[in-house]
Copies of this chain bind each other. A is one copy, B any other.
Amino acid sequence: MPTADPAPRRRMRADARRNHDRLLAEAAAVFAEQGVEASLEAVARRAGVANGTLYSHFPTRQALLEALLANGMWVLADTARDLAGHLSAHEALTTWARAAMAHTTRYRGLATSLLRSVEDETSELHAACQEVLGAGERLLTRAQAAGTVRADATAADLYSLINAAAWAGEQTSPAQGERLLSFCIDGLRP
């Protein structure tokens, strides 16, 4: 029961809808090439619209990211529920953590936005980040009940370590990022 509707899908003029979609598509391409700090001016240019049009559709960079990522983040939360049904508490946790990290490495610089936004209520990404945090928390609690994770670990710890490993992977190599994630998760054991 999300309180915000995903997008006012219908009540939009045809040209507005076209611009909206075009902007999202080009933003995805530009962010994939240059990371989430890429020039928004370049996004507008590639979408063939004036810079003001971009800002009227997506008032902030975070709003653009939210539109690109919210869906994937809901899927991630659903994945947590699925894994909880199919795997042991600890395997579900580690498998999901890897999936969450993979999502975070989608664009360079994303880990920074996602970690900041989980605590920043003014961020358009905040709700989606909280969703992911909550999904992780359920898997964490389950693993704690099973005795495979220390009792003092928190959802914020799990969320932080996933993002930190993703970030380290960005700066060095994906393999190094995954090694870090493994170490951190091992460090959660009692």
Could you list which residues of chain A lie within 8 angstroms of chain B, going by C-beta atoms? 112, 115-116, 119, 153, 156-157, 160-161, 163-165, 167-168, 171-172, 176, 179-180, 182-189
Contacts and interface: CB of A to CB of B under 8 A. Distances in A.
Contacts of A163: 168, 171
Contact of A115 (B115, B171, B188): B171
Given A164-B165, A167-B167, A172 B184 contact: no
B168 A180 contact: no
Contact of A187 (B116, B176, B182): B182
Please give me the 5 A-B residue pairs with the lowest Cβ-Cβ distance, nearest first: A187-B187, A183-B187, A186-B187, A164-B164, A115-B171
Contacts of A185: 187
Contacts of A176: 156-157, 160
Contacts of A115: 168, 171-172
Given A115-B172, A164-B167, A164-B168, 17 more contacts: A115-B171, A116-B171, A119-B172, A157-B176, A157-B180, A160-B168, A160-B180, A161-B180, A161-B184, A163-B168, A182-B187, A183-B188, A184-B184, A186-B187, A186-B189, A187-B187, A187-B188
Nearest to A187: B187
